[in-house]
């Protein structure tokens, strides 16, 4: 459903992409404020679960990289 007062032809920018999400639920990304970055293998699982922002630390220096696949 479209909220009252929102034009369904609304263009946010030239890069706006329209997606057919009928039957789906859209939510903002979740924030996890207690992450141990020494478990880097769990980052992809977190992203797949809807977590888009992670705050935390580790038990020592570590570099975590995520390949966006695109």
DSSP string, 5-67: T--TT---STT------TT----PPEEEEEEETT-GGGHHHHHHTTEEEEEEE-SS-------
pTM, whole model, 2 decimals? 0.43
CA dihedral 11, 15, 20, 26 (to 10 degrees): -90
| pLDDT, position 49 | 87
| pLDDT, position 59 | 64
| pLDDT, position 70 | 58
pLDDT interval class at 67 (50, 70, 90) = confident
pLDDT tens digits, 19-66: 898 999 888 889 988 887 776 677 888 888 888 888 876 666 666 677
């Amino acid at each position: 459903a479209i909220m009252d007062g929102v034009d369904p032809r609304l263009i946010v920018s030239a890069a706006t992409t329209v997606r057919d999400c009928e039957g789906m639920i859209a939510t903002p990304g979740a924030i996890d404020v207690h992450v141990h970055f020494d478990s880097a293998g769990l980052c992809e699982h977190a992203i797949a679960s809807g977590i888009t922002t992670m705050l935390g630390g580790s038990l020592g220096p570590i570099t975590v990289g995520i390949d966006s696949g695109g």
